[in-house]
Chains A and B, each alone.
Chain A
Amino acid sequence: MERDVNQALAREFGLNAEEYNRVLEIMGRTPSFTELGVFSVMWSEHCSYKSSRVWLKQLPTKAPWVIHGPGENAGVVAIGDGLAAIFKMESHNHPSFIEPYQGAATGVGGILRDVFTMGARPIANLNALRFGSPDNARTRRIVDGVVRGIGGYGNCVGVPTVGGEINFHPAYDGNPLVNAMTVGIAPTDRIFLSAAAGIGNPVVYVGSKTGRDGIHGATMASAEFDANSEEKRPTVQVGDPFTEKLLIEACLELMATDAIVAIQDMGAAGLTSSSVEMAGKGGVGIELNLDNVPARETGMTAYEFMLSESQERMLMVLKPEREAVARAIFEKWDLDFSIIGYITDTGRITVRHQGEIKADIPLAPLNDQAPLYTRPTVETPKQEQLNAARIEDRLGLTAGLRKLLACPDLCSRAWVWDQYDSTVGGQTVKRPGAADAAVVKLEGLKRALALTTDCTPRYCLADPEMGGMQAVAEAWRNLTAVGARPLAITDNMNFGNPEKPEIMGQFAAAIRGMAAACEALDFPVVSGNVSLYNETEGKGILPTPAIGGLGVLEDAAQAVGYGLPSWLDIVVIGKTQGWLGQSLWLREINGREDGAPPPVDLAVERANGDFVRSRILSGEIRACHDVSDGGLLVAVAEMAMASGVGARLSAHPRDVPGHAYWFGEDQGRYVVAVPDAASFIRTSEAAGVPAVRIGVSGGGDLTLPDGGTISIETLRADHAGFFPAWMNGDNRS
């Protein structure tokens, strides 16, 4: 039902007094109910990036291989062979808390559309997930729903889910994070953009019918949660992966013709954002007749049509003489196809419904005068660097390793991956659990892409600038560790309430750190998404700038995994000082979450990584694993578990305490397996890269430098236990 438009309603729609006054100014009158709806979603944090835009501008976005940076539906980089990789990561955090299955499923669906709308066939999905404490009764239900939702959607559309990450922390109890990433491939000369053009060209709606689901979803995603968040369930959309699959095939079939002028998916804010953005980017006007929008329900109002976030819908501008060709393709795939409007020269969006004009808004100010805030920031106070010698090692190496491998943040994620189809398409060279990055070959070519998602939120909380830098560096490192040349990233900035200076300070600092790393590593940001207001009852999440990294291998056969082969020397590359601040060991064994996180030295990062990559491609490095959560000993144990081959480790240097040497999280390090450590180290020293032999592989046990011996079977049992026990324990009641 339409209601009286006034400041109170505007506030309910998420517009503050100043923003509402600007609406009045632009319109020169009181807006209609539908018009207010359009302004409120377009100017929501989710769609307008009003708190983050000033900071995002600091990120490097250019490189010779970047074809389209931020601003399009997804980022586009050239990968050779005349092809482009098109990729983006996007959050579906708020809906996934309210309704985990559908929230996560539609997150996957939405990011897939962002990618195939540009002409790409999606070839891989990844997801970065953060959940609350496993001890919180709600967490298990959310994990179950999110995993089923991602699998339910991804498996059905037939895009392999090849990688991702999962963290647990009580800070996510009320705000889990679901960040979904899709990577697609298109010829560089067949990339489709969203800027509308051609006065009189038809505007075509294809895909699913429009219902009342997801109305004001973008507004919901731009506010904190309170005790009544469950009431927001109707704002969550419902996914239909079957229709999405048809939409992918139909769009790609149409894209092989020359019928399309512009195309965009209907994501957040649905028909409103797609039509406003397409016309706005093209500098034209658009006229829509909602009577022609395929509707799933009867009696829908203009406001509902414009704000619905029903899934699996696309908006296209076609060449007029190509309508019949396009219609035939969509009819073949049993999808709705309807001409709902035309491109005009008015510079306005005009919405007609049942003979009335329900909205008539000038596009330039709607787009250009969207609010932009430079919100106050407060720097996070620096934490002290911890002295490892003063931190007691209560458990020793053997028990410490076993406890770490079994903890929720480090234990095997196989229970999760095993529910995602990682092989469909027949091109998955490195599946989850085989390598630091997933490796997916391009059909019919030798070339392959390496893909990863990374972020260490506990570092970001302690030092957002260093944490942001580390997230980018770790993504770069993971791509390097399979032998790939890192090309670009997509970022998914998940933070709390930006109106709090400490949160905005976290955001600004994280961007600063990320920008420095992107610059130093030639690793620009080409797409991204910001999710703010991840707070419940005033309690915010850990700052989580999740990074999705993409790299390229010219020959998939050169990719290495981290499974440890037999009878090779094990060498650690990079300097080990024994940094325990913010380490997982400190948290899991000593119950402490303090200290400064390990610093990233970008010059060292680059030198170490470039050396590792060159030795992978030369064939000398047979297995490679970056050292991250849990430190050196965990890295070696993971390599041993992956292949079932054990190792005997040597004594550590005397100037670093054993627990700090083996569990510290110093950055810029890799564990590699090589045939001859002595000659390898000579080469590395010549390149100025520190390398130390730490042991030899072989046998079925891991023998620690203190003499402790653990069988690989025991390690695997420790590692595999948590998820099945936690999820299936009493799940069947």
Chain B
Amino acid sequence: MKAGIVVFPGINRERDMAIALEQSSGEKPRMIWHKETDLSGLDLVVIPGGFSFGDYLRCGAMAARSPVMAAIHAHATRGGYILGVCNGFQILTEAGLLPGALLRNAALRFLSMDCQLTVERADTVFTKRYQKGQTFRSVMAHGDGNFFADDATLDRLEGEGLVAFRYAGENLNGSARAIAGVYSPNLRVLGLMPHPEDLVDPLMGGTDGKPLFDALAAA
């Protein structure tokens, strides 16, 4: 799968993401500056973590209006794959490509620590190297990861199987129904708060995030 990483000013986990993608696919992802508008040839567009435009406004709100976003919308409409992690997830919700919003963490503090995620379904292009119901370790590093949507939306997400991951154990950031990541209705757009890309090497403490990138590389 040919992958590209979108870089908005203030994004800071693009290098981590590039390492994880390349490690699984053997191919360097294309780095895409936010003012570019041509995503042709890409199967997967990744929006990594960071603080786009400083997140001085609502997290992701500025980036969601960057020139590249029209191309990302078109990519989604074409049925292209999109992965948004952390700030990338926030940007996808701000852009309307995923439902809900990410609020300040419940304790109103930045959270940088390991967390456990439960795989809600293992039949998507992102999760087919995991087992349904499996728990895996990931790293969270965010101040605004408290997933919020109204009850009707949450019911719909659960009913349609669009919840990708939930926090197992303590729901530290206070997310509604412990939701850590969600899919678009066609299961081709995934947003999640924790960083699978930071656990792809045993030296960094584990490889629990690697199956996600292996699955994408094989797709």
Contact = CB atoms under 8 A, between A and B. Distances in A.
Contact of B51 (A155, A428, A429, A441): A155
B76 interface: no
Given A158-B12, A419-B109, A426 B197 contact: yes
A242 B52 CA distance: 8
A443 interface: yes
A295 interface: no
Interface string B137-156: 00101010000000000000
Contacts of B19: 426, 443
Nearest to B201: A426
A280 interface: no
B15 A419 contact: no
A196 to B, nearest CB: 30
20 contacts: A152-B110, A155-B141, A156-B55, A158-B51, A241-B54, A242-B10, A245-B9, A245-B10, A333-B9, A418-B110, A419-B110, A420-B110, A421-B112, A423-B195, A423-B204, A424-B49, A429-B204, A441-B204, A556-B203, A728-B107
Interface residues of A, number: 34
Interface string A547-585: 000000000110000000000000000000000000000
Contact of A425 (B15, B53, B109, B205): B15
Contacts of B103: none
B198 interface: yes
A557 B203 contact: yes
B112 A245 contact: no
Contacts of B197: 426
A55 interface: no
Contacts of A245: 9-10, 12, 51, 54
Contacts of A152: 110
Most B-side CB within 10 Å, residue of A152, A333, A334, A424: A424
A423 B203 contact: no
Interface in A153-182: 155-158
B51 A424 contact: no
Interface of B: 9-10, 12-13, 15-16, 19-20, 49-51, 53-56, 107, 109-113, 139, 141, 143, 195, 197-198, 200-201, 203-205
Contact of A429 (B15, B200, B203): B203
Q: Which of B12, B49, B141, B198 has the most CB of A within 10 A?
A: B12
B9 A246 contact: yes
Contacts of A243: 54
Contact of B16 (A242, A425, A557): A425
A510 to B, nearest CB: 34
A96 interface: no
A421 B141 contact: yes
Interface string A410-433: 000000011111111111110100
Q: Which of A152, A240, A242, A419 has the most CB of B within 10 A?
A: A242
Contacts of B141: 155, 421, 423-424
A156 B51 contact: yes
A425 B50 CA distance: 11
A261 to B, nearest CB: 27
Given A242-B9, A245-B51, A423 B198 contact: yes
A202 interface: no
Contacts of B12: 156-158, 245, 424
B111 A418 contact: yes
- Closest 8 pairs between A and B when the two form their complex, measured CB to CB: A158-B12, A242-B54, A426-B16, A156-B51, A421-B141, A419-B110, A423-B198, A421-B112
Interface of A: 148, 151-152, 155-158, 240-243, 245-246, 333-334, 417-429, 431, 441, 443, 556-557, 728
A443 B20 CA distance: 12
Contacts of B203: 429, 441, 556-557
Contacts of B198: 423-424, 426
A423 B112 contact: yes
Contacts of A242: 9-10, 51, 53-56
B contact face: mostly helix, strand, loop, or mixed: mixed
A425 B110 CA distance: 18
A422 B141 CA distance: 8
Nearest to A421: B141
A418 B54 contact: no
A423 B110 CA distance: 13
A158 B86 CA distance: 13
Nearest to B19: A426
B13 A424 contact: yes
Given A426-B19, A426-B204, A419 B112 contact: yes
A662 to B, nearest CB: 32
Nearest to A556: B203
Q: Which of A157, A158, A417 has the most CB of B within 10 A?
A: A158
A424 B109 CA distance: 18
B9 to A, nearest CB: 6
Contacts of B200: 426
A155 B9 contact: no
Given A242-B9, A419-B112, A424 B16 contact: yes
Contact of B13 (A158, A418, A422, A556): A158
Nearest to A121: B15
B197 to A, nearest CB: 7
Nearest to B109: A419
A242 B50 CA distance: 10
Contacts of B53: 242
A334 B139 CA distance: 32
A156 B54 contact: yes
Contacts of B56: 242
A498 to B, nearest CB: 38
A728 B13 CA distance: 30
A694 B10 CA distance: 51
B63 to A, nearest CB: 12
B112 A420 contact: yes
Nearest to A555: B203
A431 B206 CA distance: 13
A733 B111 CA distance: 21
Given A242-B53, A417-B112, A156 B10 contact: yes
A689 B110 CA distance: 45
Contacts of A557: 203
A423 B9 contact: no
Contacts of B113: 418
Given A156-B55, A423-B141, A429-B203, A334 B110 contact: no
Contacts of B15: 425-426, 443
Contacts of B112: 155, 417-423
Given A155-B143, A156-B54, A246-B9, 4 more contacts: A148-B109, A155-B110, A242-B53, A242-B55
A425 B10 CA distance: 14
B110 A241 contact: no
Nearest to A334: B9
Nearest to A426: B16
Contacts of A334: 9
A423 B54 contact: no
Contacts of A148: 109
B137 to A, nearest CB: 12
B204 A158 contact: no
Most B Cβ at <10 Å: residue of A241, A333, A334, A728: A241
A152 B108 CA distance: 13
Contacts of A156: 10, 12, 51, 54-55
B157 to A, nearest CB: 28
Contacts of A246: 9-10
A240 B9 CA distance: 13
Contacts of B110: 151-152, 155, 418-421
B13 to A, nearest CB: 6
Contacts of A241: 51, 54
Nearest to A155: B110
A429 B13 CA distance: 17
Contacts of B13: 158, 424, 426
